[in-house]
Structure 1
């Protein structure tokens, strides 16, 4: 699939190949970057941050904190009065 897209766009028009950081996408990105030598591969920063946060959430010393944050967030978003109050004090910013 990726090779077909690269050929359709033209390797000279591809500057960077960004994928999730899973092993098969990483291997494909590195392989294409080596094959074409006109662009480089890099992992998706958002995916990397998500993986790091998941790992942190799995730590025993963080599980309670993550659980409490989830409970507070659910409470706020399930109660219109509290949600409107939060939005008032955060100038409309959302938690999630």
Structure 2
């Protein structure tokens, strides 16, 4: 799961005098509830939210993503399904 690097956002925002979620929301256009969910880790940032923050505060887009301590998860294993019933042993294997 991707997370917003809120420390980076706050650092960039502070340079422009924005010190609260309300001020960040006003400047970036990202809603306060969305910023609160992103800050708490309850949602993944959308590309639109990341671009809005980048447009408001500058920097590289990837700088807004917190990837510390996160590793890619392998997809869940899908159980295989056997088709055609049981397999028969060949005559040579049965001997």
Please, what TM-score do these two structures have when normalized by structure 2? 0.28
Greater relative contact order (Cα 8 A, min sep 6): structure 1 or 2?
A: 2
> Which structure has the bigger radius of gyration?
2
Q: Counting strand residues as a fraction of each chain, which structure ranks higher?
A: 1
Q: Counting helix residues as a fraction of each chain, which structure ranks higher?
A: 1
Please, what TM-score do these two structures have when normalized by structure 1? 0.28
